[in-house]
Amino acid sequence: MSHYRFALLRTSQSRHPFAAFSKWTAYATGHPFAFIVALLIIVVWAFTGRYFHYSDTWQLVINTGTTIVTFLMVFLIQNTQNRESAAVQIKLDELIRADAETHNALLDLEELTDQELHAIKSKYEHLAEQAREQLRRGRGDTGRVEL
């Protein structure tokens, strides 16, 4: 391993507190137990409706609670997805960089404009169609093809 990689790696203890919290929250809320707790809250709320005469305040409690939770979860989930997406992009970039047969021009594609991405995608779609045609003719579809 090159020495530059070690400088980029950090232990989980040095992670920003918000990142650690958002990762934990995303894990916890994705757990089946979280669904059960949410379902129980709804059931308890529904059963208390009779006691509160199904009032506007009774309805406002669940509406406000779910709105607040949803609003906050959007930011936590987005933070987690941003970090995971960045990590996947870095891993893919490393695989492209490390393989002598791959095109280094594909590194960091997420930074290109939509038009540039469409142009590259069109080239790969054309290659895929050629490969499918080769298969229909009973030939192989593997091997390096220059773009």
Q: Where are the domains of the chain?
A: 16-107, 112-147
| Cα–Cα distance measured from residue 67 to residue 12, given in angstroms and rounded to the nearest whole number | 32
- Residue 9 is predicted with a pLDDT of 54
- Residue 48 is predicted with a pLDDT of 96
| Cα–Cα distance measured from residue 46 to residue 54, given in angstroms and rounded to the nearest whole number | 9
- Residue 1 is predicted with a pLDDT of 47
Question: pLDDT tens track of the chain, all 147 residues?
Answer: 454 554 555 555 557 888 888 888 888 998 999 999 999 999 999 999 999 999 999 999 999 999 999 999 999 889 889 989 999 999 999 998 898 888 888 888 888 999 999 999 999 999 999 989 989 998 887 777 666
CB 76 within 8 A of CB 19: no
- Residue 23 is predicted with a pLDDT of 84
Sign of the CA dihedral with 55 first, then 56, 57, and 59 last: positive
Question: Which of 25, 23, 28 has its CA nearest to residue 12?
Answer: 23
Q: pLDDT tens digits for 102-132?
A: 888 888 888 899 999 999 999 999 999 998 9
pTM: 0.64
- Residue 45 is predicted with a pLDDT of 95
